[in-house]
Chains A and B, each alone.
Chain A
Amino acid sequence: MLQPNVPPVEPQPSLHAAARVTVGDRLLQALYPPQSSAAQLRWVGFAMLALAAIFPWLGGPFYTRLAIESFLFGAIALSVDILLGYAGLLSLGQATYFGLAAYISALMYLHVTQSFWLVLLAVVATVAVFSLVLGAVAIRAKGVYFALITFGAAEILSKIAHNTRAIGGSDGLIGIPVPHIALLPGVTIDLQSNFVFYHAVLVVLVLIYVGTRRVLNSGFGAVLRAIRDNSDRVPYLGYNSFWYKLLAYVLAAQVAAVGGLIYPLLRGFVAPHLFGFEVSTKAVVMSLVGGVGTLLGPLAGSVIVTFLESVVGSYTERHLLILGVIFIIFVMFLPDGLIGLARRLLATREKAAP
C-alpha cells in the first residue's frame, strides 16, 4: 500500500441536505436558475479568447512574441493538467516531451527537411514511442513513484543533451531556419510575420484545448476521473486502469510536444534547459495557478506566469525565488487555483444575491 496512513475520503454530502430544501428555495431556483460552472467557464473562455485574438494590436512585437511563448508553455501546462486533474498523476517531467519535440524539430530543420508536416510526423511518432515506453514503466510504479520517475527521466535526458557534442552539447543548436508552412495548395503560412505566427499558434492552441476537452468529457475521461477518485474500485467495473492511464499519458505527451514542436521556430535555437526541471516545474506552477482539473486554468496560468516572470525578470534575477513563493502560496492557500477562486466568488455572490 502506498498511503496506508491517509485518512478516509471526505464524507459525501448527505441526502438530508437535498431533503431540507424548502418551497421558497425551489421557487428561487426556478426564478434564478443557477448557472452551471461549465457555463461560467465557457464565458471565461470566450473572454480569454477575445482578448487573445486582439492582443497583437495592443502589445508591441516583444510582447506578441512573449505571448506566443506563453502559449507554447500553455501546451505543457495543459498536459500537466490532463494528467494531474483527470488521471490523478503528478508528472514532474513533462519537459521531457517539450524538449524531445524541440530537439527533433530543430535537428530535422537543420539537417533533413524544411517541410513542417514531415517534422510534425517525426515528432508525433517519436513522442508516441517514447511516451509509451516511459509511461508503461512509470504508471506501473504508481503514485509518488510516478512523479519521481518522470522527474528523473527528464533530468537524464537533459544531462544527455548537455553532454552530447553531436547535438550541440551545452550550447544547444542555433540558427534554425523558419520554414514556410504549406497549409493548402497555394496557401502558405509565413511565420516571419509576428501577426501570422501569433494567430497560427493561437488557433493551434484552441484546437488542442477543444480536442482535449472533447476527449476528456467522453466516456474515456469519465473512466479516468473514476480512476483518480477511487482506483481500487475501477477494476471491479471491468476497466483496466493501466491502459486508461497510459493512454492519458501518451495524449498528454503529445500535447506537451506541440509546444516543443513550435518553440525552435519562435526562438531559433534549442538548448538542454528545455528538458530541464525548470520547464517541468513551471508547467506545474502554471496549472496550479490557473486551477488543476479545469483545462482552461492552465492556459490562463501560463499567460499569467510567463508575463509575471518577464516583468519581474526586468527588475530582478531572482525569478526562481518568485516562482517558489507563488508555488507555496497556491499549494497552501489556493489549491484550486484562480479558476477555483473565481468559481467560489461567483458561488458566494449567487448565494448572497437572492
Chain B
Amino acid sequence: MEDLLGYLHVVVLPQVIDALIIGVALALVALGLTMIFGLLDVINLAHGDLYMLGGYAAFTVLGWGAGYWSALVLVPILVGAVGWALEELGIRPLLPRADRAIVTLLLTFGVSLILRDIAQVVWGTETHAVAPPFTGIVSFAEVFVPTYRLFVFGIALIAIFATWWLVYRTRLGAVLRATAVDPSMVASFGIPIRLVYGLTFVYGCGLAGLAGVLLSPIYAVFPTMGHDFLVMAFAVVIVGGMGSIIGAVVAAVLLAQVQGLASLWIPPVWAETLVYGVMLLVLVARPGGLFNRLGEA
C-alpha cells in the first residue's frame, strides 16, 4: 500500500500534472481549428504550420533581444497576419464553391507544404532551442514542476477562458454563433459576415501562434513540429466534436492524459498510437464527437 501510494506520488502524479499542462496548450491549437471549422466549414491543414511559425517567430524575435513578454504579444499578431493573408487570398475565393470543405482542405494542404519549406529555407533544418524566461522549479508536496510550465498553464487557461467569454458572453460572440447556424439570416440583418469569417480565422491562427510561443521553450523549434502537433490536434477536434469549443478543451486534456499516462508503461510511439485508437473508438461510438457543434450547444 505504502509502495503504491509512493509510486502514485512520485511517478504518476508528476506525469498527470505534466500532461495537464501540455493538454491545455494543445487545447489552444485545437480551439482555433475547431472554431474555423465550426464557422467556415474549413479544415485548416496549415494550422500546425502556423503553430510552427509561432515557434520560429518567437525564436527570431527573442534573438533580436526583445523581451519574452513582447514576444508573447507580438508573435500571435504576426501569425494572425499570416492567417489573414491566407484567408483573404486563398480561402475567401473558394468559399462560394459547393465542395468548399474539400477544396479548402486541399488548398490549406498546399499552403502547409509551402510554409514548411519556407521555414526550412529561412531557419534551416536543425532544431533551435529557445530559452525559457524563468528557470526556477516550484515544489508542492514534494512534486516538482518547472516554473515555466506553470506559467504556460496559466497563460493558456487565460486564453481559453477569454475565448469562451468572447464566444458565449459578448455581442460579437452572439453574432459568431448565429453565423455558424445560419449565415444568410445573419447577413440579412446587415451584419458583414465576411468580416466575421475573417476575424474568426485570424483569431484561430493567432491562438496557434500563441501556442507556438508558449511551447517553444519546452519542445524547441524544428520544421516538422507543426506537422507532428497537427495530427494530435485533429484527434482532439474529432474526439471533442468538430466545431465544439468546450469539446476541444475537454478532449485536449483527456487525450494528453491518455498519452502522458500511457507513455509511463509503453514506448511513447505506441502511446501516440493509443491516442489514435481512442479517437477511432469515439468515432465508432459517437461519429459526431463528444460535444455539439458551435452554436448548437
User: Are A and B bound to each other?
Assistant: yes
| Interface residue B102 (Cβ < 8 Å from any Cβ of A) | yes
The reply on A3 being an interface residue by CB < 8 A is yes
**Residues of chain B contacted by A248 (CB below 8 angstroms):** none
Chain B nearest Cβ from A169, distance in angstroms: 11
A141 touches B267 (CB 8 A): no
Q: Determine if A328 and B110 form an interchain contact, defined as CB atoms under 8 angstroms apart.
A: yes
Alpha-carbon separation in the docked complex, A144 to B108 (Å): 13
Please pick, from B98, B100, B235, the residue contacting A9 in the complex, using a CB distance under 8 A: B98
B104 to chain A, nearest CB (A): 9
Q: Describe A's contact surface by its main secondary structure.
A: helix
Query: Is there contact, CB below 8 Å, between B231 and A6?
Result: no
Q: Is the CB of B106 within 8 A of A288?
A: yes
Nearest B-chain residue to A284, judged by Cβ: B106
- Known pairs A144-B43, A156-B272, A277-B227; A324 contacts B117 (CB<8 A): yes
Q: Does A59 contact B (CB under 8 A)?
A: no
Please, which residue of chain B has its CB at the minimum distance from the CB of A137? B280
Contacts A284-B106, A320-B117; is A142 near B231 (CB within 8 Å)? no
B287 is contacted by which of A5, A140, A323, A324 (Cβ under 8 Å)? A140
- Take A159-B272, A163-B267, A320-B117 as given contacts and tell me if A137 and B283 are in contact as well, using a CB distance cutoff of 8 Å: yes
Q: Are A6 and B98 in contact (CB under 8 A)?
A: yes
Segment 256-297 of B: residues with Cβ below 8 Å from A: 267, 269, 272-273, 276, 279-280, 283-284, 287
Chain A residues with CB below 8 A from B102, complex form: 84, 90, 144, 147
Verify if B78 is at the interface (C-beta below 8 Å from A).
no
Q: Which residues of A contact B112 (CB under 8 A)?
A: 324
Q: Which residues of A contact B234 (CB under 8 A)?
A: 148, 151-152
Q: Which of B88-96, B128-136, B201-209, B211-219 contacts A (4 or more CB under 8 A)?
A: B88-96
A160–B100 touching, CB < 8 Å: no
Count of interface residues, chain A, beta-carbon cutoff 8 Å: 46
How far is A324 from B46 in the complex, measured between Cα atoms in Å? Answer: 11
Q: How far is the CA of A331 from the CA of B112 in the complex (A)?
A: 14
Size band of the interface chain B makes with A: 35 or more
| Docked pose: A163 CA to B283 CA in angstroms | 26
Closest chain-B Cβ to A168's Cβ sits at a distance in Å of 15
Q: Is the CB of A148 within 8 A of B287?
A: no
Q: Is A166 an interface residue (CB 8 A)?
A: no
Contacts of A173 in B (CB 8 A): none
CB distance from A119 to the nearest CB of B (A): 27
Does A10 lie within 8 Å of B109, measured CB to CB?
no
Name the interface residues of B153-206: CB closer than 8 Å to any CB of A.
181, 183
Q: Which of B110, B113, B181, B280 contacts A149 (CB 8 A)?
A: B280
Cβ of A318 within 8 Å of any chain B Cβ, yes or no, is: yes
Whether B114 is near chain A, meaning CB under 8 Å from some CB there, is yes
CB contact between A10 and one of B98, B101, B235 (< 8 Å): that residue: B98
How far, in whole Å, are A146 and B90 apart by their CA atoms in the complex? 23
Q: What's the Cα separation between A90 and B98 when bound, in Å?
A: 15
Tell me how far the C-beta of A118 lies from the nearest C-beta in chain B, rounded to whole angstroms. 30
* Cβ–Cβ contact B276 & A324, under 8 A: no
Report chain B residues within 8 Å CB of A84. Answer: 102
Bound CA–CA A9/B106 (angstroms): 20
Q: Evaluate contact between B90 and A328: CB separation under 8 angstroms.
A: yes
Taking the closest CB of chain B, its distance from the CB of A318, in whole angstroms, is 5
Q: Tell me the nearest residue of chain B to A148, going by C-beta.
A: B234
Query: Can you report 5 A-B residue pairs in the complex whose CB atoms are below 8 A from each other?
Result: A7-B96, A144-B242, A162-B269, A288-B106, A320-B113
